[in-house]
Chain A
Amino acid sequence: VAYKYIGATTITAGGTTLITFSSIPSTFDHLVLMMRQKGDSTGQTVLQALIRFNSDTGANYWRRWLYTLGNSMNNSYSTSGMTSMNIGDGFAGLQTDSTNPSGYEVFIPNYCNEAGSKYKSIYWNGGFPGPTASSVGLTNVSCGTWFSNNAITSITIQQEGNVAFMAGTSMYLYGIS
Chain B
Amino acid sequence: MANTYDLIVKTSLTGSTDLQNIPQTYTDLRIVCLGQNAGSSPNLSMRFNGITSAIYARNYISRDNNNYANYRESGQTGIEITNSYQSPDTNIFSIWTIDIINYRSTRFKTTIHGIYNPTFVTAGNGSTGAAIGLFRETSAISSIQFSGGTTGRVYVYGIKGA
Answer yes or no: B97 CB below 8 A from chain A CBs. yes
Answer yes or no: A17 CB below 8 A from chain B CBs. no
Pair A109/B32 contact, Cβ less than 8 Å: yes
Nearest to A81 among chain B residues (CB) is: B120
Instruction: Find chain A residues with CB under 8 A from B93 CB.
Output: 109-110, 115-116, 118, 121
Answer yes or no: B7 CB below 8 A from chain A CBs. yes
Report the stretch among A47-55, A88-96, A127-135, A139-147 that lies at the interface.
A139-147
| A2-B5, A123-B116 as given contacts; A107 in contact with B95, CB under 8 Å | yes
Nearest to A63 among chain B residues (CB) is: B118
Nearest to A74 among chain B residues (CB) is: B63
Q: Which residues of B51-89 are within 8 A (CB) of A?
A: 62-63, 68, 89
Give Cα distance in the complex from A73 to B67, angstroms: 12
In the complex, how many angstroms separate the beta carbon of B57 from the nearest chain A beta carbon? 21
Q: Which residues of A59-104 are within 8 A (CB) of B?
A: 62, 64-66, 73, 75, 77-80
Nearest to B87 among chain A residues (CB) is: A121
One digit per residue, 1 when the CB lies within 8 angstroms of any chain A CB and 0 when it does not, for chain B 25-60 equals: 000000010101000000000000000000000000
Contact of A143 among B34, B117, B155 (CB under 8 A): B117
- Per the CB 8 Å criterion, the residue count for chain B at the interface is 35
In the complex, how many angstroms separate the beta carbon of B14 from the nearest chain A beta carbon? 13
Q: Which of A29, A114, A118 has the most CB of B within 10 A?
A: A118
Pair A119/B121 contact, Cβ less than 8 Å: no
Instruction: Find chain B residues with CB under 8 A from A123 CB.
Output: 95, 97, 114, 116, 128
| A73-B68, A109-B34, A149-B91 as given contacts; A66 in contact with B129, CB under 8 Å | yes
Answer yes or no: B100 CB below 8 A from chain A CBs. no
Nearest to A177 among chain B residues (CB) is: B7
Pair A107/B97 contact, Cβ less than 8 Å: yes
In the complex, how many angstroms separate the beta carbon of A175 from the nearest chain B beta carbon? 12
In the complex, how many angstroms separate the beta carbon of B147 from the nearest chain A beta carbon? 19
Q: Which residues of B89-128 are within 8 A (CB) of A?
A: 89, 91-95, 97, 114, 116-118, 120-121, 125-128
Give Cα distance in the complex from A73 to B129, angstroms: 13
Pair A116/B153 contact, Cβ less than 8 Å: yes
Q: List residues of B whose CB falls within 8 A of some A CB.
A: 3, 5-7, 10, 32, 34, 36, 62-63, 68, 89, 91-95, 97, 114, 116-118, 120-121, 125-130, 151-153, 155, 157
- 14 new A-B contacts at CB < 8 Å, known A121-B95, A123-B128: A29-B10, A64-B63, A77-B126, A107-B97, A109-B93, A110-B34, A115-B153, A118-B91, A121-B34, A121-B118, A123-B97, A123-B116, A141-B114, A149-B91
Q: List residues of A whose CB falls within 8 A of some B CB.
A: 1-3, 29-30, 62, 64-66, 73, 75, 77-80, 107, 109-110, 114-116, 118-119, 121-123, 125, 141-145, 147, 149, 176-177
A-B contact pairs, 11 of them (CB 8 A): A1-B6, A2-B6, A2-B7, A64-B128, A77-B121, A110-B153, A116-B93, A116-B153, A118-B93, A119-B91, A122-B118
